[in-house]
Homo-oligomer: A and B are copies of this chain.
Amino acid sequence: MSKRPKTSPQQPTAERSDPGAPAGLNQIPLLQILSAQDRQKVLGEMTETRYGKGEYIFREGDPTEYFHIVKEGSVKCVKSSLDGKECTLKVLMPGDLFCCDASAFDGASHPGTAQPMGDVSVLRMKKEAYFKMLRANPDAAMEVIRYLGNRLNEAQEKAKVLALDRADQRLASLLVNLAERSGIKDPNGIRVTVRLTRQDMANMVGVTTETAIRIMARFKKDRLVTGTAARLVIRDLPKLKLLAST
């Protein structure tokens, strides 16, 4: 729960995506599903844009014009309340889709803000072209349905955790998820590759920064984790899992 950060608005760099076969594109399931021919066509309609720290991909309330895919880096989806508190609903990773949904339909506006975490690269496509693509490719449409269903389950699981669990359990759940979704092996356990400050974690589980710090300090003392932000390592995943559901 933080007040809004101040930003120095820079212009993001936009460029036509290379129709050749840029590295990273094979991490995107939706594109993998298409025939080589359709993929080329779709890539021709997509633009790659890079964003840096402090920029916004779009903000809550902006009109929805594009469908997006994360190509590189992580993007956080944030909503904020009138009194300036904010919460992070989801961290998108390469291959994740956004604005693939209803808001993109009836001329509505973005229900939340999309913010890069560090340097990111995003592919985007006019929503009209996106809809056309879905209508023409039942496989792509099915993939989007599958994807949205997963996101819905995830969001409901998150709601359940927020509704029923204590702060320390919610934080433990977060750490377990991070380990499983963005963890790599490390001599001391599992290293989380997304850079997350205590404040970021606080925003992800609906507590204040102080509370997140205190709980993480306890976890550290109990040898469940080490390090902060850039060097966060999960040392005892089983115990965290246990704590998350106890």
A205 with B134: CB separation less than 8 A: no
Nearest B residue to A139, CB-CB: B135
For A138, give its contact among B90, B100, B141, B149 (CB under 8 Å): B141
For A164, give its contact among B81, B146, B164 (CB under 8 Å): B81
A162 with B102: CB separation less than 8 A: no
A206 with B141: CB separation less than 8 A: no
Size range of the chain A interface in the assembly: 35 or more
Is A33 interfacial (CB 8 A cutoff)?
no
Is A144 interfacial (CB 8 A cutoff)?
yes
B153 with A89: CB separation less than 8 A: no
For A131, give its contact among B142, B155, B156, B245 (CB under 8 Å): B142
A111 with B156: CB separation less than 8 A: yes
Is A165 interfacial (CB 8 A cutoff)?
yes
A156 with B112: CB separation less than 8 A: yes
Chain A 99-114: CB-based contact to B (< 8 A → 1; otherwise 0): 0111111000001100
A145 with B149: CB separation less than 8 A: no
For A135, give its contact among B77, B102, B138, B144 (CB under 8 Å): B138
**A82: chain B residues within 8 A (beta carbon):** 245-246
Contacts A/B (CB < 8 Å), 7 sampled? A1-B164, A79-B160, A101-B148, A102-B146, A104-B149, A111-B153, A163-B205
What are the 6 closest A-B residue pairs judged by CB atoms, nearest first?
A101-B149, A163-B206, A102-B149, A155-B155, A162-B162, A148-B148
**Docked complex Cα distance between A111 and B154 (Å):** 10
Nearest B residue to A203, CB-CB: B163
Q: List A residues 109-135 near B (Cβ within 8 Å).
A: 111-112, 131, 134-135
Q: A156-B112, A164-B87 are in contact. Are A149 and B149 (CB under 8 A)?
A: no
